[in-house]
Amino acid sequence: MSLSDTQVSLKHGAGGTAMTELIDAVFTATYGNDLATRDDSARIDIEGPVAFTTDSFVVDPIFFPGGDIGRLAVAGTVNDLLTIGAKPVALSASFIIEEGLPISDLLSIARSMALTAREANVRIVTGDTKVVPRGSADKVFITTSGIGTILLNGLSGAAAKPGDAIILTGSIGDHGAAVMLAREKLLDAESIESDTAPLVDIVLNLIRAGCKIHAMRDPTRGGIAASLNEIAKQSRVGIDLDGRALVVKPAVAAACEVLGIDPFYVANEGKMLIFVDPRDAERSLEIVKQSAYGAEAALVGWVNALHSGQVRLRTTIGTTRIVSPPTGELLPRIC
């Protein structure tokens, strides 16, 4: 780290030597050799068909229990590639930085991205750095895009079938609750950790084992309520959820109570909803549970042909209610 500055300033986004120094000291040094060519595009040797996705991350605060905006930006894009059956191969990372951001923060974020990328076995191969004057953005926004090799064809939110079992890889609401508590400085913020994680192992193990997966979605913004309603609508099927199988950690439940929100609508960043042929359900669940991030996985529901487009919950006390899609903003800047 040869930079004498301690804060990012406008010169670091100007395309000149100050920008090159920042990129060298923060990004090239951290990501390793993958960025080394210095051309405006990276060359990737990849077999088609290719999966391609993008997400912008504007989470506030940028550091929170269990993660930070960098880990989130890598895991979020990796998980989106996985949802269509692709093995993530390469990521781009574009930063919009508010003048004044401590360079130590930027370095922490870059290191977190590099670690998460290594964990997910992807390379960060290209990027961009823009700096805007104080007050034109809030600290730092990151947009990651990703490309991957599609290993399993036909996976889509429109491909769930009546009879499919629905596996959820763990508890719900952890990420959103952790960020909200950290932002509002409510309760003991450290008591809840974000679940932000790349789910490469879980998904690739299922694909390699030949499990007949029809659809996957990582339930981020809008929580499992949003993802399940989207798939019910896209696939024109009904979904029945088993309330007894859904796990909400006590601290998350307490936080949601305080914040007046339903954990069904709270973002997760390290969970996957997996729609699988019923004959492969038990085997798939066992495979998911073998991965670190899937240890608490459960079979949480079934797809039916009856109430098309609707998600219904059988509650723990035996009643049934409709889980409607979220409409408006519950938790701004959660991811």
- In the region spanning residues 7 to 36, those forming contacts with a copy of itself, defined by CB under 8 A, are 9-19
Taking a C-beta distance cutoff of 8 angstroms, is the pair 264, 225 a contact? yes
Is 318 a binder of a copy of itself (CB under 8 A)?
Answer: no
Is 43 a binder of a copy of itself (CB under 8 A)?
Answer: yes
Q: Which of 30, 126, 194, 310 binds a copy of itself (CB under 8 A)?
A: 126
Q: Which of 2, 4, 40, 260 binds a copy of itself (CB under 8 A)?
A: 40
Instruction: Choose between 70 and 251: whose C-beta lies nearer to a copy of itself.
Output: 70
Instruction: Give the pair of three-digit tokens for residue 160.
Output: 């769930």
Q: How is 182-195 classified by DSSP, letter by letter?
A: HHHT-S-GGGS---
Report the distance separating Cα 149 and Cα 86, nearest Å: 5
Is 292 a binder of a copy of itself (CB under 8 A)?
Answer: no
Report the distance separating Cα 308 and Cα 233, nearest Å: 7
Instruction: Give the pair of three-digit tokens for residue 207.
Output: 């694909």
Q: Which of 30, 83, 291, 310 binds a copy of itself (CB under 8 A)?
A: 83
Is 250 a binder of a copy of itself (CB under 8 A)?
Answer: no
Instruction: Give the pair of three-digit tokens for residue 331.
Output: 């938790």
Is 176 a binder of a copy of itself (CB under 8 A)?
Answer: no
Q: What's the length of the chain?
A: 335
Report the distance separating Cα 258 and Cα 278, nearest Å: 38
Please state the closest distance from residue 244 (CB atom) to a copy of itself, in A.
26
Closest CA to 73 of 143, 23, 26: 143
Instruction: Give the pair of three-digit tokens for residue 230.
Output: 């989207």
Please state the closest distance from residue 258 (CB atom) to a copy of itself, in A.
20
Instruction: Count other Cβ atoms within 10 Å, centred on residue 44.
Output: 12
Instruction: Choose between 251 and 313: whose C-beta lies nearer to a copy of itself.
Output: 313
Instruction: Choose between 2 and 319: whose C-beta lies nearer to a copy of itself.
Output: 2
Please state the closest distance from residue 125 (CB atom) to a copy of itself, in A.
6
Q: Residue 44: phi, psi to the nearest 5?
A: -120, 125
Is 310 a binder of a copy of itself (CB under 8 A)?
Answer: no
Q: What is the CA radius of gyration of the chain?
A: 20
Q: Which of 94, 121, 205, 304 binds a copy of itself (CB under 8 A)?
A: 94
Segment 207 to 226, residues that bind a copy of itself, using CB under 8 A: 217-218, 220-222, 226
Is 58 a binder of a copy of itself (CB under 8 A)?
Answer: yes
